[in-house]
Chains A and B, each alone.
Chain A
Amino acid sequence: MNIATIIQMTLAALAAVFIYTFIGFIPGTDETSVLMPITLAVVLAGTPPIATVTFFIAAIVTLSLTNAIPTALVGLPGGVMSSPMLEHSLSLKEKGVSALVIKKMAVGSLIGVIISIPTSLLLANILAPYAKEIQALSSLLFFLGAIFLAIIGRNKIMSLISILPLAILFMALRHLYWGIGIVPKTTNITVSFFLGITIGPLIISLFRLLNRDYREAMARDDVREISIPRDAIEATTLNPLSILNRIEILRASVAAFFANFLFVLSPVGLTILLGEMVANRVEDPIERGYIAITTMSALIQATYISGIIIPLIAIGIPLSPTAIGPGGALFNAPPVLTMDNNLHHRLDRWEFTIAILTGAIIAIIISYYIINRFASRISTFVLQRIPHEAILALFISLIILLAYMDAGLINVFGVLLIGISCGTLNRMGVSYGVQFMTLYAAPWIVENIILL
Chain B
Amino acid sequence: MDKKRGMFEIWGDIIEIKPLIISIFISVTLTMGAYFLAPPDSRVKQLFFGLMGAVLGFVISAFFIKPKRLITIEESRKG
A residues contacting B by CB (< 8 A) are 27-28, 37-38, 40-41, 44-46, 76-77, 95-100, 201-202, 205-206, 209, 215, 218-232, 335, 376, 380, 383-394, 396-398, 400-401, 404-405
**A98→B79 contact, CB < 8 A:** yes
In the assembled complex, which residues on chain A have CB atoms less than 8 Å from the CB atom of B20?
389, 392-393
**B71→A383 contact, CB < 8 A:** yes
**A28→B70 contact, CB < 8 A:** no
Residue of chain A at shortest CB distance from B19: A389
A77-B10 CB under 8 A given contacts A230-B75, A390-B62: no
**B10→A45 contact, CB < 8 A:** no
In the assembled complex, which residues on chain A have CB atoms less than 8 Å from the CB atom of B28?
393, 396-397, 400
**B10→A44 contact, CB < 8 A:** no
User: Could you name 16 residue pairs across A and B whose Cβ atoms are closer than 8 Å?
Assistant: A99-B76, A220-B14, A224-B14, A384-B71, A385-B62, A386-B62, A390-B27, A390-B62, A390-B65, A392-B23, A392-B24, A394-B27, A397-B28, A400-B32, A401-B31, A404-B35
A12 to B41, CA, bound (A): 27
Given A76-B13, A393-B58, A396-B24, 11 additional A-B pairs, CB 8 A: A222-B7, A223-B68, A226-B71, A387-B67, A388-B13, A392-B20, A393-B20, A397-B57, A400-B28, A405-B47, A405-B50
A335 to B46, CA, bound (A): 14
A401-B72 CB under 8 A given contacts A388-B15, A390-B58: no
**A227→B73 contact, CB < 8 A:** yes
- Output the least CB separation between B15 and chain A (Å): 5
- Output the least CB separation between A382 and chain B (Å): 9
**A202→B11 contact, CB < 8 A:** yes
- Output the least CB separation between B76 and chain A (Å): 5
B residues contacting A by CB (< 8 A) are 1-3, 6-17, 19-20, 23-24, 26-28, 30-32, 35, 43-44, 46-48, 50-51, 53-54, 57-58, 61-62, 65-79
Residue of chain B at shortest CB distance from A400: B28
A95-B79 CB under 8 A given contacts A224-B13, A227-B74, A397-B27: yes
Of A376, A384, A394, A400, most buried by chain B (CB within 10 Å of CB) is: A394
- Output the least CB separation between B48 and chain A (Å): 7
In the assembled complex, which residues on chain B have CB atoms less than 8 Å from the CB atom of A224?
13-14, 68-70
**B57→A389 contact, CB < 8 A:** no
A230 to B78, CA, bound (A): 11
In the assembled complex, which residues on chain A have CB atoms less than 8 Å from the CB atom of B74?
96, 227-230
In the assembled complex, which residues on chain B have CB atoms less than 8 Å from the CB atom of A335?
43
- Output the least CB separation between A85 and chain B (Å): 14
**B35→A228 contact, CB < 8 A:** no
Find B72's partner among A41, A44, A226, A400 (CB 8 Å cutoff): A226
A227 to B75, CA, bound (A): 10
Residue of chain A at shortest CB distance from B79: A97
- Output the least CB separation between B41 and chain A (Å): 13
**A232→B76 contact, CB < 8 A:** yes
A223-B7 CB under 8 A given contacts A96-B77, A401-B32: yes
In the assembled complex, which residues on chain A have CB atoms less than 8 Å from the CB atom of B75?
230
